[in-house]
Amino acid sequence: MSKTVRPTVRASKLLAAMSTSDKLALLTGVDTTAAPYADGGAGYAGYVPPNPRLCIPALTLNDGPAGVADGQLGTTAFPAPIAQAATWDPGLEQSLGAAIGWEAWQKGIDVLLGPNVNIARVPENGRNFEAFGEDPFLSSAMAVADIDGIQQNPVIATVKHYPVNSEETNRYSISENLDERTLREIYLPPFVAAVKDAKVGAVMCAYGLVNIVYSCQDANLMGTVLRKELRFGGIVVSDWNATRSAPASAAAGLDLVMPTSANAVTTLAAGIEAGTVTPQLIDQMVTHVLTSMFRLGLFDHPPPPRQNVYLAHVSTPADEGVALQVAEEGTVLLKNAGNTLPLHLGAHKTIAVVGAPAGAATSAFVGGGGSAYVTAPNAITPLQALTTRAAKAKDDVTYADGTDPAAAAAVAASADVAVVFAYDQEREGYDRADLELPAGQDQVIEAVAKANPHTIVVLDTGGPVLMPWLDQVAGVVEAWYPGEEDGTAIAAVLFGDAEPGGRLPQTFPTSDTALPTSSPDQWPGADDAQDAIFSEGIDVGYRWYDATKTAPLFPFGFGLSYTRFRYRHLKVKTVGSNVTVKFTVENDGRRAGTDVPQLYLDDPAAAHEPPKQLAGFQRVDLQPDETTTVMLTIPKRSFAYWNTTTHAWTVAPGLYRILVGSSSRDIRLRGFVRR
Ligand code: BGC
């Protein structure tokens, strides 16, 4: 990266040397079979060829959010982003981003298509696993950390899918219809943070429409908001085949039409000829692409030349360590009756392990499907890891694959404790029909629970599921899609070698109907699922449960620990326009443990905001009897609502209540501040 010449200056110098055809070639991709390292086109999502005459390197684009994907071999399968968010640990997320970026670079990939920051509005969304949950503040923090990590390498991160993509039903044609305030307060903040705080190099516009305008053709959201208001000078790339008209998209703010489009080149060239596409517009588009390439070091740090890069193993033990830590930290303990966990059986006891994901840690169980799918041939199965760990404690493990409830019950009946692994299978392109566990797994869990009172359910799911058997089991652990360290992580958590450090980044509902988007007009949408009506407005996730006083099954922010924490001594201090909140957290149990105290704001009535909104959090690790002081600064923006008269952030004068708790439904300290 040049220290002296600014990326925009370098871009403009290079631009001056480019012909129109040089320029147009930089604005769309070609078939990935042309990529030098591709094995018959496999292993890459997109490819823009180099321009050797002008020394412009190629752009190779790959997903994604859970590790370098698209069929690449030898990369780390990290836990799904929903598990990453459940860590509430931006520091660790940055390490994860840095590891993914490094692996991408080793693979000759210079544009990474992630993170996905679409807010979890609909729990049935087939891509729920692929983003950071239902809260804009938490999603922003995770996205910024991830992008910071990725872009420590000469790799461009891509925040997606702008501005909204809340379901997969009719994803190419659905119009997501929402009001200005909802867009600003709920859906845009992670994109804003990615651009402003993390200086992301690329933004991907979404497949669908927003208020009946194609996202990749939206002059207001791409042009006015992203370009003018946020001053985004990097690449706007289309989702794959999301460009309906290259000239119309170009005029609205799009730069890069992906994955391939001879038509884009022809229509842009014809537009230039006819005077409907100005040379200035083309120059602007090329400048955006080149500026990100210069700024992120693509010219100065080309990927290492190597043979057979597609086959190369680039995952390192350090990367696997990050994957393991994220899996452990993101695992959420939802129920633990009678302190059944951690397992402390004593020697010569038997653990019955049940369920397909326990026996086969294939990619299908450790990650979600679609473009974020990372192959995980070396994933460690829970059965392997639990058997090894149990042997250390001189215990035995038996196994039933869970296809037959009676067989599973028989194995469980003759064991001291039963651990049932259950799954859902989320994938891009399809929403889940409902929130039930598929394939009769509820019956298997019920049969096992009947046979053994010490039954623990481990959920390998990409989002909320219903738990009709909740009262019948002793424990529930949400392990999400845990990535390739699957077995190692869950064995460590179940045996208490690691703390189940996760907290829910998304509310779990009690039924398919007691949730914010229960009307068919909201999801999958009115007019045969062509129009998703966001009638819940800003009441997304826990905001809706609070506003409507609906009981969740498990609330946002919830997660148990193997120890207990006490919060005390809340102090709220105002220095100028900054508000800082201080309190102590004490581990008053007998084990070391992790807690994630959360700070919520309750605005004055005049702001017409939901009853509480997340405005701070901090992950803390504490030894028994240890106390720490947590200090959080409430960002100014958290005090503001989006005013649709002035089209600006506005602070409603009045009393703001400050709520500190261990989840959105367990508030332990209260203070206030006036604004
Ligand atoms: C997905 C994007 C992804 C792209 C390239 C699309 O189907 O929506 O998220 O980056 O494919 O694989």
Sign of dihedral through CA atoms 640, 643, 649, 652? negative
**pTM score, whole prediction:** 0.98
d(CA 452, CA 130): 35
Is 170 or 44 the better-scoring residue by pLDDT?
170
Terminal alpha carbon distance of the chain: 44
Residue 29 scores a pLDDT above 50: yes
Query: Would the CB of 23 count as within 6 Å of ligand 1?
Result: no
Whether 239 is catalytic: yes
Cα of 45 vs centre of ligand 1, distance in Å, is 8
Ligand 1 within 6 A of CB of 240:
yes
Task: List alpha helices for 222-274, DSSP H.
Answer: 246-252, 262-274
Distance 429 CA to ligand 1 centre (A): 10
168 touches ligand 1 (CB under 6 Å): no
Strand partners, 663: 666
Residues in the chain: 675
Q: Does 63 sit in the ligand 1 pocket, CB within 6 Å?
A: yes
Query: What's phi and psi for 365, nearest 5 deg?
Result: -95, -25
Ligand 1, closest atom to CA 70? 12
How many DSSP H helices and E strands does the chain contain?
A: 19, 27
363 — pLDDT class (breaks 50, 70, 90): low
Dist. CA 143 → ligand 1 center (Å): 17
Look at ligand 1, atom 6, and give the residue with the nearest C-alpha. Answer: 240
42, 71 contact by CB (below 8 A): yes
d(CA 7, CA 22): 19
Q: How far is the CA of 518 from the centre of ligand 1 (A)?
A: 27
Protein residue with its CA nearest to atom 2 in ligand 1 = 239
Hey, is 620 helix, strand or coil? Answer: strand
Q: Is the dihedral of CA 24, 68, 594, 338 positive or negative?
A: positive
Q: Quick count: other Cβ atoms within 10 Å of Cβ 651?
A: 18
Angle of helix 382-392 versus helix 486-494 axis, rounded to 10: 40
Q: Which two tokens stand for residue 552?
A: 């969740």
User: Helix or strand or coil: residue 617?
Assistant: strand
The tokens of 496 are what?
């208490």
555 Cα: distance to centroid of ligand 1 (angstroms):
31
Query: Does residue 160 line the site of ligand 1, with CB under 6 A?
Result: yes
For 245, counting Cβ atoms within 10 Å of its Cβ (0-12 exposed, 13-18 middle, 19+ buried), the class is: middle
Q: What is the dihedral of CA 388, 390, 394, 397, to 10 degrees?
A: -100
Retrieve residue 463's tokens.
Answer: 């989002």
Higher pLDDT, 360 or 364: 360
* 107 Cα to the center of ligand 1, angstroms: 19
Does ligand 1 lie within 6 Å of residue 222's CB atom? no
What is the CA(225)–ligand 1 centre distance, in A? 23
With both helix axes pointing from N to C terminus, report the angle between 317-330 and 90-106 in degrees, rounded to the nearest 10: 150
Distance CA 639, CA 653 (A): 10
Residue 39: burial class (beta carbons within 10 Å; 0-12, 13-18, 19+)? middle
Report whether residue 71 contacts ligand 1, using a CB cutoff of 6 Å: no
* Atom 7 of ligand 1, residue of closest alpha carbon: 240
Confidence of residue 531 (pLDDT cuts 50, 70, 90): very high
Is residue 491 predicted with pLDDT exceeding 60?
A: yes
Give pLDDT, residue 2.
46
Ligand 1 contact, 536 CB (< 6 A)? no
* Choice among 239, 401, 460, 603 that is catalytic: 239
Mutate to test the pocket of ligand 1, among 203, 216, 256, 428 (most ligand atoms within 8 A of CB): 428
Higher pLDDT, 35 or 497: 497
Closest to 388 measured CA to CA, from 500, 491, 481, 270 = 491
Q: When comparing pLDDT for 457 and 577, which is higher?
A: 457
Mutate to test the pocket of ligand 1, among 59, 63, 129, 258 (most ligand atoms within 8 A of CB): 63
Is the CB–ligand 1 distance for residue 93 below 6 Å? no
- The encoded tokens of residue 605 equal 């009535």
Higher pLDDT, 36 or 614: 614
Alpha carbon separation from 21 to 278, 282, 486 (Å, rounded): 14, 11, 49
113 pocket-lining for ligand 1 (C-beta < 6 Å): yes
- pLDDT tens digits, 258-290: 999 889 999 999 999 999 999 999 999 999 999
pLDDT band at 36 (very low <50, low <70, confident <90, very high): confident
CA distance 674 to 659: 14
Q: How confident is the model at residue 3 (pLDDT cuts 50, 70, 90)?
A: low
Q: What is the DSSP letter of 581?
A: E
Which one, of 148, 78, 477, 498, lies nearest residue 296 by Cα?
Answer: 148
Q: What is the DSSP letter of 42?
A: B
Our mutation pick for probing the ligand 1 site, out of 60, 72, 113, 237, counting the most ligand atoms within 8 A of Cβ, is 113
Q: Round to whole Å and give the CA distance between 546 and 204.
A: 33
Distance 116 CA to ligand 1 centre (A): 10
Q: What atom in ligand 1 is closest to the CA of residue 160?
A: 9
Whether ligand 1 lies within 6 angstroms of the CB of 130 is answered as no
Say if ligand 1 is within 6 A of residue 45 CB: yes
CA distance 81 to 146: 10
Does ligand 1 have an atom closer than 6 angstroms to the CB of 371? yes
List, for residues 93-103, the tens digit of each pLDDT value: 999 999 999 99
Q: What is the pLDDT of residues 176-187, one digit of tens each?
A: 999 999 999 999
Segment 77-106 shows an average pLDDT of 98
Q: d(Cα 364, Cα 377) in Å, to the nearest integer?
A: 11
Q: In ligand 1, which atom is closest to the CA atom of 114?
A: 10
